[in-house]
Chains A and B, each alone.
Chain A
Amino acid sequence: MSEDMNGGMDNTLTDPLSSTNLMSLTIDGQEIQAEKGQTIVQAAQKNGIYIPTLCALHADKESGLKHDLAPGTCRICTVKANGRTTAACTTPISQGLVVENDTPELNDLRKTIVELLFVEGNHFCPSCEKSGSCDLQALAYRYQMLTPRFHYAFTPRKVNADMPKLLWDGNRCILCRRCVLAIRTEEGEPLFVFANRGDKSTITVDTELIQDISEELAQQAMDICPVGAIIRKGKGFDTPFGQRKYDHSPIGSDTACSSGENKAGGEKS
């Protein structure tokens, strides 16, 4: 085992494109190859297999990110790796790894996480500008959540409407930490920061820096937030029903994974 790993490393140094830089693993019985150092989520994405994510985000045109984000805060990506439950977005792959992903047990666990997020915040989708394009809501559709199986907490949450271009609504914030990591000024200073701990955890906004952010940064902040917690002021509800991100196909169906399609479509009668 350790010999294998050393061999791999030597090869990395001499020839990064050598096939020994690739590792083989299986996800739900399907054998795939991915580069050493990648996480399970990255490996899956590269191979067109859908693992749900809420806090993690891939670097691409749509996200506008230069590097993948994986704060590891939400646990929706939970898989079984060699039989142990773990967050797929923070776990690196290893040679011969056996990953369980799209199983009834794990999908029910993920549905439970979605339900907990719904009862913990105050999610009134009919009045939310992100509705139809919200990742949390889309996951609830994917897992066919008719109602959370827990009682609503109706916790009072803060709303920050003092910013010129943005509105931050704590009722919808799932504390995923994406905005903290990704939204910065040109000098690299963060605009959003985590404050407090435990059930008092919240996002606070740098009131000075936020004053004169560009329209682009404001839009990027709204886009990076997987839910409707960061909303642009002065424009809203501007995408009609039927044209929103998840109006026609479920979240994850763009990663052309066959099981993703029949799970989310609910074709099973």
Chain B
Amino acid sequence: MSKPIIATASLAGCFGCHMSFLDIDERILDLVELVHWGKSPINDIKTFQQDCDIALIEGGCCNDEHIHTLREFRKHCRVLVAVGECAIMGGLPAMRNNIPIKECLEEAYLNSPSTSDANPDRILPNDEELPMLLDKVYPCHEIVKMDYFLPGCPPRADLIYGALTALVTGQEAELPYEVIKFD
């Protein structure tokens, strides 16, 4: 049987979850024995060259590009894993969900102490090259079906490693008390 292919993506996240994944340290060599890498910021492959078996998704959706990316992952990957609070429930970006988007933009670009002088023409970014902001930040499962969820901000490296090797080898993940944390 050929090795399973892993892909990863960072949507509205801070890359902390990817960093935590790298915290598996030398165990990454064991993983290399078990899997092939597909599209991922880790190897900088930017397009799907073939369909993948497992995808780790960091971050929720805060703009239309995230939605597009997530749907592409759903189309091209067999198992989608939501990694971290942002992917699971929007995380810190979703703290804007109860504030109208207009207020958010005005605070960020017009009224905050660091921008009030720097933006004399009072421009809100509106180039058509820019992704369109969504009204809210959406957790991944509200956009596509997700198969697994690994909590934490970021999830402990041991949790990611344990879950991933379990998925790849078809065993049950071990989840001791120390690895499940929400912060």
A interface residue numbers (CB < 8 A to B): 122, 124-128, 131-132, 137, 140-141, 144-147, 151-152, 154, 156-157, 249-250, 264-267, 269
Contact = CB atoms under 8 A, between A and B. Distances in A.
Interface in B41-88: 82, 85, 88
Given A141-B177, A156-B98, A269-B174, A124 B142 contact: no
A98 B141 CA distance: 42
Nearest to B159: A146
Contacts of B85: 124-126
12 contacts: A124-B92, A125-B183, A131-B183, A137-B182, A141-B177, A141-B181, A144-B175, A146-B149, A147-B141, A147-B151, A152-B89, A154-B97
Interface in B160-183: 172, 174-177, 180-183
B29 interface: no
Contacts of A122: 97-98
Nearest to A148: B89
Interface string B8-19: 000000000000
Interface residues of B, number: 29
Given A126-B153, A154-B136, A147 B82 contact: yes
Contacts, number: 69
A137 B177 CA distance: 13
Given A132-B183, A269-B174, A146 B91 contact: no
A151 B142 CA distance: 8
B87 to A, nearest CB: 10
A124 B97 CA distance: 12
For the complex of A and B, list the 8 residue pairs with the smallest distance between their C-beta atoms, beginning with the closest: A125-B182, A147-B149, A126-B153, A156-B98, A126-B183, A131-B183, A146-B149, A125-B183
Of A122, A126, A128, A156, most B-chain CB atoms within 10 Å: A126
A141 B181 CA distance: 7
Contacts of B141: 147, 151
Nearest to B95: A124
B143 to A, nearest CB: 12
A44 B24 CA distance: 42
Contacts of B175: 144, 266
B38 interface: no
B180 to A, nearest CB: 5
B176 A266 contact: yes
Contacts of B176: 265-267
A79 B183 CA distance: 31
A127 B92 contact: yes
Of B82, B89, B95, B174, most A-chain CB atoms within 10 Å: B89
Contacts of B142: 151
